[in-house]
């Protein structure tokens, strides 16, 4: 709110297929240009018409955008070309997009109408991450990509600060801890984190290092390196804090350090530690462990399978 004045309402729209931290970063910048951010997401039909079928369904894509912490509202099924009528309908002052040109199937700039009405602003696209790049990494079924440093994204502390809430827990807050890979952050993770957050007041997500994830997932996992996974998880509205490179075992030290009241895990299989132990042995012994049902069966592996099945389309 600008000193009692009307709020500045910002509009963004897009496909938001395979939502990554580049999308989140554009929404973060868009939100910073105003007070209230509305994001329009295209239907599967509309995307198929203009650039080919999306990997994720519209329901999955709507949910993912709703999960991003800078988004105030999602409008489902908006047209590919942004019109002034749409901006007016949602009472938005202007539209924001990254500094790349998007075209319709007929080669028309999708933002030509809002550009000529001077209701268009540009933010900087995040270099080093795109759906095309992620698909490329998934199709490389060897470990080479992370041995050779396939990610082109350059992480900085600045970016982490921009993504983080910067909020310590309040005294008396019930702290919930979860740990995992959270690779290619997806709807399954989102549903899980929503349930996890409901268990307390402050949700801490521990992210395993790349070598640890590679040990228990094998092959070319993780697809996203630790820095990228940190940003994807920080962009989620249910997450309060992230541990960058959490130990695989949830130890007494860790639980005391973060004053963890409860450790939760979804219904996915828990891989044992190098010494054969259950990583949740300690919280289970002190009865501070719970299993949650995210109600969602999506996994990183399933995404990779979808991509491989559709590889001819990319
Ligand atoms: N975006 C960005 N940085 C990226 C990728 C996307 O800032 N690395 C922005 C786009 O500029 C756009 C918004 O995210 O404003 C969502 O657009 P969408 O149509 O989903 O993005 P694409 O450009 O198709 O994303 P990608 O290349 O990853 O498929
Ligand atoms: O597999 P990964 O380590 O990324 O999972 C992180 C957490 O999310 C785990 O607790 C896992 O059980 C949970 N999850 C879930 N439902 C899914 C996918 C993951 O509850 N569909």
pLDDT tens digits, one per residue of 251-298: 999 999 999 999 999 999 999 999 999 999 999 999 999 999 999 999
Residue 296 CA to ligand 2 centre (angstroms): 9
Any idea which residue has 């559709």 for tokens? Answer: 310
Residue ranges covered by each domain of the chain: 9-126, 138-303
Model pLDDT, residue 101: 86
Model pLDDT, residue 5: 76
Pocket test for ligand 1, best of 32, 39, 42, 98 (most atoms within 8 A of CB): 98
Residue nearest to atom 5 of ligand 2 (CA): 180
CATH superfamily of 9-126: HUPs (3.40.50.620)
Query: Residue-wise over 153-165: b if at least 16 C-beta within 10 A, else e?
Result: bebeeebeeebee
Residue 78 CA to ligand 2 centre (angstroms): 31
Q: Which atom of ligand 2 is nearest to the CA of 298?
A: 21
pLDDT in tens, 230-259: 999 999 999 999 999 999 999 999 999 999
Residue 180 Cβ contacting ligand 2 at under 6 Å: yes
Same fold, 9-126 and 138-303: yes
Residue 17 CA to ligand 1 centre (angstroms): 9
CATH class of the 138-303 domain in this structure: alpha beta
Any idea which residue has 């004053």 for tokens? Answer: 259
Q: Which atom of ligand 1 is nearest to the CA of 98?
A: 11
Model pLDDT, residue 1: 45
Residue 208 Cβ contacting ligand 2 at under 6 Å: no
Provide block-wise average pLDDT over 10 residues at a time, the chain (314 residues). 77 96 98 98 96 93 98 98 97 96 91 96 95 85 55 88 95 98 98 98 98 91 95 98 98 98 97 96 98 96 88 59
Residue 130 CA to ligand 1 centre (angstroms): 7
Q: Which atom of ligand 1 is nearest to the CA of 128?
A: 8
Residue 97 CA to ligand 2 centre (angstroms): 32
């Amino acid at each position: 709110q600008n000193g009692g004045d009307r709020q500045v309402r910002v509009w963004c729209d897009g496909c938001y297929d395979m939502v990554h931290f580049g999308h989140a970063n554009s929404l973060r910048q868009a939100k910073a240009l105003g007070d209230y951010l509305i994001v329009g997401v295209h239907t599967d039909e509309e995307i198929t018409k203009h650039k080919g079928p999306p990997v994720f369904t519209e329901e999955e894509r709507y949910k993912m955008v709703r999960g991003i912490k800078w988004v105030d509202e999602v409008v489902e099924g908006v047209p590919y070309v942004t019109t002034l009528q749409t901006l007016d309908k949602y009472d938005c002052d202007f539209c924001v997009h990254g500094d790349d040109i998007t075209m319709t199937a007929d080669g028309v700039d999708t933002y030509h109408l809002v550009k000529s009405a001077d209701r268009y602003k540009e933010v900087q696209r995040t270099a080093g991450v795109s759906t095309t790049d992620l698909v490329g990494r998934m199709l490389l079924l060897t470990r080479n990509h992370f041995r050779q440093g396939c990610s082109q994204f350059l992480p900085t502390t600045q970016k982490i600060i921009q993504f983080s809430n910067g909020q310590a827990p309040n005294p008396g807050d019930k702290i919930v801890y979860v740990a995992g890979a959270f690779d290619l952050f997806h709807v399954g993770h989102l549903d899980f984190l929503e349930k996890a957050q409901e268990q307390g007041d402050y949700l801490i997500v521990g992210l395993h290092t790349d070598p640890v994830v590679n040990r228990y997932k094998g092959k070319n996992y993780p697809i996203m390196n630790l820095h990228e996974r940190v940003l994807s998880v920080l962009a989620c509205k249910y997450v309060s804090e992230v541990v960058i490179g959490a130990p695989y075992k949830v130890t007494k030290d860790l639980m005391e350090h973060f004053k963890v009241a409860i450790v939760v895990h979804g219904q996915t299989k828990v891989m044992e530690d190098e010494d054969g132990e259950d990583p949740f042995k300690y919280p289970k012994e002190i009865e501070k462990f719970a299993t949650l049902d995210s109600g969602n069966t999506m996994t990183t592996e399933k995404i990779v399978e979808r991509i491989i099945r559709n590889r001819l389309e990319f």
